[in-house]
Amino acid sequence: MLQVGTVAPDFTLPDQDGQPHTLSDYHGQKVVLYFYPKDNTSGCTKQACAFRDLYPQFREAGAVILGVSKDTVASHKKFQQNHGLPFTLLSDPQFQVIKAYDVYKESVGKTGKINGGLWRSTYLIDENGMIVRAHGKVKAAENPAQMLQEVR
Q: Is the pLDDT of residue 107 over 90?
A: no
pLDDT for 119 equals: 86
Per-residue pLDDT tens digits for 82-99: 999 999 999 999 999 999
Q: Is the pLDDT of residue 115 over 90?
A: no
Residue 49 annotated in active site? no
Q: Is the pTM of this model over 0.85?
A: yes
Spatial separation of the C-alpha atoms in residues 7 and 3, rounded to whole Å: 9
Per-residue pLDDT tens digits for 46-78: 999 999 999 999 999 999 999 999 999 999 999
Q: Is the pLDDT of residue 113 over 80?
A: no
- Mean pLDDT for 117-134 is 94
Active-site residue (options: 13, 44, 118, 147) = 44
Q: Which of 130, 140, 94 is nearest to 2 (CA)?
A: 130
| Per-residue DSSP letter, 15 | B
- Mean pLDDT for 108-125 is 78
How far, CA to CA in Å, does 68 sit from each of 71, 87, 111, 113, 134?
Answer: 8, 11, 30, 26, 15
Q: Which residues contact 19 (CB under 8 A, 6 or more apart)?
A: none
pLDDT for 99 equals: 94
